[in-house]
C-alpha cells in the first residue's frame, strides 16, 4: 500500500542524510582526533575491493 511505500522512502531518506562526511567545524573543534565518519557507508569502495 502507499503507507508502506512512505515508510520505506522515509527510512531510505534518513539513511541518505546520515551518509555524509564529518562537518568541517568538527574537524576544527576536535583537532586531528576525528577524521572520518566511521558509520558512513562506502559502496563504491566495496565494489572495487571485489
Higher pLDDT, 12 or 47: 12
Q: How many CB atoms lie within 10 A of CB 37?
A: 15
CA 49 to chain CA centroid, Å, is 20
Q: What angle is formed at CA 28 by the lines to CA 27 and CA 33, rounded to 5 degrees?
A: 50
Q: Which one-letter DSSP state was computed for residue 31?
A: T
> In this predicted structure, what is the pLDDT of residue 44?
63
Interacting residues of 39 by C-beta distance below 8 A, sequence separation 6+: 18
> In this predicted structure, what is the pLDDT of residue 33?
81
Looking at the predicted structure, is the pLDDT value of residue 43 above 80? no
> In this predicted structure, what is the pLDDT of residue 41?
77
Looking at the predicted structure, is the pLDDT value of residue 49 above 70? no
Amino acid at each position: 500500500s502507499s503507507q508502506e511505500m512512505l515508510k520505506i522512502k522515509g527510512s531510505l531518506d534518513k539513511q541518505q542524510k546520515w551518509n555524509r562526511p564529518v562537518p568541517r567545524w568538527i574537524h576544527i573543534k576536535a583537532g586531528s582526533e576525528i577524521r572520518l565518519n566511521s558509520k558512513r557507508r562506502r559502496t563504491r569502495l566495496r565494489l572495487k575491493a571485489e
